[in-house]
């Protein structure tokens, strides 16, 4: 869960967003390891708590829906999708 903890604080979210790491993070959704996928799904959820991160995370909604069909991670994906699609 080390990856997911990177964005628990606003400073971490800002560093990820300001340094264009989000594309790399999204790419890790294709990793073969479900542990890595879980960490990335939770990391995306944390980043999506930030308004700019939420907007960026919208581009991975389709990939998250695909993952629900092939992994046991449906619960975690649903939580992350809820954060991404939340409207103030």
Q: What is the pLDDT of residue 60?
A: 95
DSSP state of 28: G
Asked if residues 6 and 17 have their Cβ atoms less than 8 Å apart, the reply is no
As a whole number of angstroms, the distance between CA 41 and CA 73 comes to: 9
Domain that holds residue 9: 4-85
Number of domains making up the chain: 1
Q: How confident is the model at residue 55 (pLDDT cuts 50, 70, 90)?
A: very high
Q: What is the pLDDT of residue 20?
A: 81
Look at 10 and 78; give whichever has higher pLDDT. Answer: 78
Give the number of other Cβ atoms within 10 Å of residue 83's Cβ.
16
pTM of the model: 0.87
């Amino acid at each position: 869960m080390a990856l997911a903890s990177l964005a628990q604080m606003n400073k971490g979210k800002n560093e990820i967003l300001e340094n264009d790491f989000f594309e790399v993070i999204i790419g890790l959704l294709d990793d073969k390891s479900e542990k890595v996928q879980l960490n990335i799904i939770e990391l995306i959820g944390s980043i999506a708590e930030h308004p700019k991160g939420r907007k960026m995370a919208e581009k991975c909604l389709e990939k998250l829906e695909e993952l629900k069909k092939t992994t046991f991670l449906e619960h975690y994906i649903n939580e992350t999708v809820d954060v991404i699609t939340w409207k103030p």
